[in-house]
């Protein structure tokens, strides 16, 4: 082969390569154009329309958000100005005045309760904690002798108790934590009746749920330790159809309410549940006389029967009252001796 033919072959091969490359580029461009102008489905079309509308209304949405913020600010301002009844939560928290009164739940009766009653006591303690956090005059809350079944139940069912605030949870007995002269044990067996609360004192509530089986236990403990004891003035203000047995949280809430109102009767009737059938003592005589008079007017036989029933209820022997109390006993956890 001559030297003149070699360059000619090289040139033809280069031309062929260029043609192949140009053909490939044209095909790829055609594919891109086909992909670009490929028909879309109705669903995709709707999405595109919505996206376009959303972008067009962006400024309108901004304006609406601004107006909403301004409206909320005005509403909050109006509430603060017209909030004379204390409905605004932030305003209430600013009005909180902490009491120096110490209120102790004595959990040293753990071994005397079954698990069912332990769980009830736990729920009552939770209620006390919640009420104290919400109160306008919260007390210095103590939980003493904390351990045993109660602590185990709280660890299993309420792990958040370790993060509770404004409460002193101690494994020690209250007698080891507070001076004896400052202590007053609240028990219905005490002959002493509270007239008012001394906020320099520490009041002890027996954390015992026993459905009134352990009578006189809290009074005995107070006497053994040589500390003062007293009962709430329940009988001076309230007459109840059921037994005068109150749950731990009821006693706790009554004290919180009294600290706010300084009125025992209002405190009792704010807290006591309706099922207790509580009525003010100064109205019981009036209501009974009114019932007797109306019964006489309605008819002789009915009048006689109602009077006989009234006298029978008034003269019930003690053992009959105890029998009726047992029948009316509820499964609710109660404060021992209240």
Closest CA to 256 of 169, 144, 130: 130
The secondary structure of residue 180, as a DSSP letter, is G
Q: What is the 3-state secondary structure (H, E, C) of 23-73?
A: HHHHHHHHHHHHHHCCCCCHHHHHHHHHHHHHHHCHHHHHHHHHHHHHHHH
Return the exposure string of 310-328: e unless at least 16 CB atoms fall within 10 Å of the residue's CB, then b.
eeeeeeeeeeeeeeeeeee
203, β-bridge pairs: 103, 184
The phi and psi torsions of 119 (rounded to 5 degrees) equal: -65, -35
Annotated catalytic residue 210 = yes
CA dist 168 and 177 (Å) reads 11
Q: What is the 3-state secondary structure (H, E, C) of 113-154?
A: CCHHHHHHHHHHHHHHHHHHHHCCCCCEEEEECCCHHHHHHH
The phi and psi torsions of 186 (rounded to 5 degrees) equal: -90, 110
CA dist 333 and 336 (Å) reads 9
Region of 274 (left: φ > 0; alpha: ψ -120 to 50; beta: rest) is alpha
How far are the Cα atoms of 45, 260, 273, 310 from residue 270, in angstroms, in the given order? Answer: 64, 12, 8, 29
102, β-bridge pairs: 140, 202
Angle, helix 115-134 to helix 248-261, in steps of 10 degrees: 20
Of 85, 210, 228, 282, which one is the catalytic site residue?
A: 210
CA dist 232 and 223 (Å) reads 18
Q: Contact 235/276 with Cβ under 8 angstroms?
A: no
Q: Which residues are catalytic?
A: 210
């Amino acid at each position: 082969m001559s030297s003149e033919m070699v360059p000619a072959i090289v040139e033809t091969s280069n031309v062929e390569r260029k043609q192949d490359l140009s053909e490939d580029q044209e095909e790829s461009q055609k594919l891109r154009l086909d992909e670009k102008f490929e028909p879309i489905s109705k669903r995709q079309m709707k999405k595109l329309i919505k996206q376009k509308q959303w972008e067009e209304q962006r400024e309108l949405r901004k304006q609406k958000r601004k107006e909403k913020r301004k409206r909320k600010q005005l509403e909050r301002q109006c509430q603060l100005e017209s909030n004379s009844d204390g409905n605004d939560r932030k305003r209430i928290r600013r009005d909180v005045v902490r009491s120096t009164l110490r209120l102790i739940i004595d959990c040293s009766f753990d071994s005397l309760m079954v698990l069912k009653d332990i769980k009830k006591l736990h729920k009552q303690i939770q209620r006390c904690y919640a009420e104290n956090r919400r109160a306008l005059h919260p007390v210095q809350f103590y939980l003493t002798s904390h351990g045993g079944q109660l602590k185990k139940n709280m660890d299993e069912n309420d792990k958040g108790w370790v993060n509770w605030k404004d409460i002193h949870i101690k494994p020690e007995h209250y007698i080891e934590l507070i001076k004896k002269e400052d202590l007053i044990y609240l028990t219905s067996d005490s002959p002493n009746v509270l007239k008012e609360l001394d906020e320099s004192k520490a009041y002890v509530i027996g954390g015992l749920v026993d459905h009134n089986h352990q009578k006189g236990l809290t009074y005995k403990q107070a006497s053994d330790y040589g500390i003062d004891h007293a009962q709430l003035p329940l009988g001076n203000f309230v007459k109840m159809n059921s037994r005068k047995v109150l749950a731990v949280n009821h006693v706790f809430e009554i004290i919180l309410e009294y600290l706010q109102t300084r009125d025992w009767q209002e405190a009792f009737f704010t807290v006591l549940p309706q099922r207790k059938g509580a009525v003010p003592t100064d109205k019981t005589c009036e209501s009974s006389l009114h019932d007797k008079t109306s019964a006489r007017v309605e008819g002789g036989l009915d009048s006689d029967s109602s009077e006989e029933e009234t006298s029978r209820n008034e003269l019930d022997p003690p053992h009959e009252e105890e029998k009726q109390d047992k029948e009316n006993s509820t499964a609710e956890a109660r404060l021992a001796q209240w």
